């Protein structure tokens, strides 16, 4: 999607800048990412992609580094801002015999109708998307009720020394690559209405993996299964059986 299609001129300019960055970086991306996967990201891609099922959308598919990790029976669509990255992804898919529909587009305005996909995936890309909140809202919009949102990204560390290094490094990475070191998608995921099922942080808390889902029940939104509460401190519909009467939609799902 062209940046002119975005109503916010500042956002449109940022998206256009990011597109130009990826045009220059596309040929180097796989080599650079392979290094970070060895030293920091580990098996995050496999962890995320193994959970995908049905009609799957990968937002910011890039050069297709996730392609080998998806189950063979899914129907995969990959969207990316960069035609240069998509060209590499097309070759990668052909090399491994993976069928995938690739489309150029912007994560801030996904070119799909509401509730189009059973699973939405985004791996090590929310750090680069200009308006993370808008992108996550779009993921919520195109996901079918009950479907999983699967994420992995580098986030602000739980270690104070590492956080200091990240903040200093970020001044350079944002300017050169639009890459944020101190973001954390999790609070925005819950604020958007997703239910958190699993979350895992590794490497001084720098790498975070999230399995969430779009609730089928309106009382379910914002639930975090790791601490058995929603962000507004009320119970969710698929929570462990509470000690007070359940909402009607919870009873209907039992």
Q: Dump the DSSP string for 40-64.
A: IITTHHHHHHTT--SEEEEET-TT-
In the numeric block, which tokens belong to residue 19? 């597109």
Instruction: Report pLDDT for 7.
Output: 77
Q: What does the alpha-carbon distance between residue 9 and residue 181 come to, in Å, rounded to a whole number?
A: 25
Closest C-alpha to 53, from 117, 137, 136: 117
* Structure-token match 């101190």, residue found: 182
The residues pairing with 163 across neighbouring beta strands, listed in sequence order, are none
In the numeric block, which tokens belong to residue 206? 């720098």
What is the per-residue DSSP string for 203-237? TTTTEEEEEEE--SSGGGTTEETTTTEETTS---T
Q: What is the pLDDT along the chain (254 residues), one digit of tens a residue?
A: 333 445 799 999 999 999 999 999 999 999 999 999 999 999 999 999 999 999 999 999 999 999 999 999 999 999 999 999 999 999 999 999 999 999 999 999 999 999 999 999 999 999 999 999 999 999 999 999 999 999 999 999 999 999 999 999 999 999 999 999 999 999 999 999 999 999 999 999 999 999 999 999 765 555 555 554 444 333 333 333 333 233 333 333 32
Instruction: Report pLDDT for 247.
Output: 34
Give, rounded to a whole angstrom, the gap between the first and last alpha carbons of the chain: 42
Q: What does the alpha-carbon distance between residue 240 and residue 225 come to, in Å, rounded to a whole number?
A: 9
* Structure-token match 């698929």, residue found: 238
Domains of the chain by start residue, with CATH: 3-214 (3.40.50.150)
CA 132 to chain centre: 9
How would you list the strands of the sheet with 148-154, edge to edge? 100-104, 75-80, 55-59, 119-123, 148-154, 207-213, 195-202, 223-224, 229-230
Instruction: Report pLDDT for 218.
Output: 60
**What are the backbone dihedrals phi and psi of residue 130, each rounded to the nearest 5 degrees, phi first?**
-55, -55
């Amino acid at each position: 999607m062209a940046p002119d299609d975005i109503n916010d001129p500042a956002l449109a300019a940022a998206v256009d800048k990011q597109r130009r960055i990826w045009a220059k970086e596309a040929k180097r991306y796989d080599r650079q990412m392979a290094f970070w996967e060895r030293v920091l990201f580990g098996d995050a891609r496999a962890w995320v992609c193994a959970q995908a099922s049905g009609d799957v959308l990968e937002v910011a598919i890039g050069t297709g580094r996730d392609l080998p990790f998806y189950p063979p029976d899914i129907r995969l669509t990959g969207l990316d801002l960069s035609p240069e990255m998509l060209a590499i992804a097309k070759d990668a898919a052909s090399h491994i015999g993976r069928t995938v529909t690739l489309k150029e587009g912007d994560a801030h305005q996904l070119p799909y109708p509401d509730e189009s996909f059973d699973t939405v995936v985004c791996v090590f890309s929310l750090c680069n998307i200009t308006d993370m909140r808008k992108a996550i809202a779009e993921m919520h919009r195109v996901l079918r009720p009950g479907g999983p949102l699967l994420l992995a990204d580098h986030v602000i560390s739980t270690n104070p020394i590492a956080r200091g290094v990240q903040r200093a490094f970020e001044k350079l990475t944002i300017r050169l690559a639009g890459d944020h070191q101190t973001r954390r998608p999790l609070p925005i995921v819950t604020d958007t209405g997703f239910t958190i099922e699993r979350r895992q942080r590794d490497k001084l808390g720098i790498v975070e993996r999230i399995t969430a889902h779009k609730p089928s029940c309106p009382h379910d939104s914002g639930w975090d299964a790791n601490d058995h509460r929603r962000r507004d401190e009320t119970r969710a519909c698929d929570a462990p059986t509470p000690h007070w009467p359940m909402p009607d939609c919870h009873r209907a799902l039992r």
